[in-house]
Homo-oligomer: A and B are copies of this chain.
């Protein structure tokens, strides 16, 4: 038997699928592509995951679950220190995405794309994973920016999410457009830029007037 523990078929399928889905998209990746890369049989997808959609869901959940748990863990640390700082909240939300991106850039590219997915089922499944995140981060934001209407907070988090997704999914577009000037590099600097931009954007005056 090998010293390196042999990976199970489901894991091999998930790895292959994650990679291919990220590179080519869900529709452009056939189950034959996945099983070929995983060195598994075509029917094994249906045996372990029921269908192609089941495989997609599993790919998403495997990474999204720890990611969102880490977000909540960090938010807890922030909230425990008294009235939460806006920047610390945004950092708790954004920094874990950078960690995931570092360990596995494929998944973050994939996740960013799902939010603009036309497939309603898939989008709903994805959003359902954020129920607790929404509640907890909203509460923290209300405490950090008490003079802003909740509606405004949602809009600004919407912009934050847009900037975040674009950062991890389209950063090669940035490299191309900037003529190679901007490279995402190790992610740390990109994260700091992202957090700074979002924090400052979040502090925009309310109602177009200067903040009171």
Interface residues of A (CB under 8 A from B): 22-25, 27-28, 109, 112-113, 115-119, 123, 127, 130, 134, 150-152, 154-156, 158-167, 169-171, 173-174, 176-178, 181-182, 190, 192-194, 196-205, 208
Report the bound CA distance from A23 to B182 in whole Å. Answer: 33
For A192, the chain B residues whose CB sits under 8 A away are 208
Write the nearest CB–CB distance from A117 to chain B, whole angstroms. Answer: 8
Write the nearest CB–CB distance from A38 to chain B, whole angstroms. Answer: 19
Taking a contact as CB atoms under 8 Å apart, the answer to whether B174 and A166 are in contact is: no
Q: Which of B134, B165, B193, B200 has a CB less than 8 Å from the CB of A162?
A: B165
For A159, the chain B residues whose CB sits under 8 A away are 163, 166-167, 193-194, 197-198
Can you report 8 residue pairs joining A to B where beta carbons are below 8 Å apart?
A: A123-B173, A127-B173, A127-B176, A154-B174, A155-B182, A159-B163, A160-B163, A196-B205
Taking a contact as CB atoms under 8 Å apart, the answer to whether A154 and B182 are in contact is: yes
Q: A119-B28, A169-B116 are in contact. Are A134 and B201 (CB under 8 A)?
A: no
| SS class, residues of chain A in contact with chain B | helix
A-B residue pairs, 6 tightest by C-beta? A162-B166, A201-B201, A27-B27, A200-B204, A159-B163, A162-B163
Report the bound CA distance from A204 to B86 in whole Å. Answer: 14
For A202, the chain B residues whose CB sits under 8 A away are 197, 200
Q: What is the chain B residue whose CB lies nearest that of A196?
A: B204
Taking a contact as CB atoms under 8 Å apart, the answer to whether A25 and B28 are in contact is: no
Write the nearest CB–CB distance from A177 to chain B, whole angstroms. Answer: 6
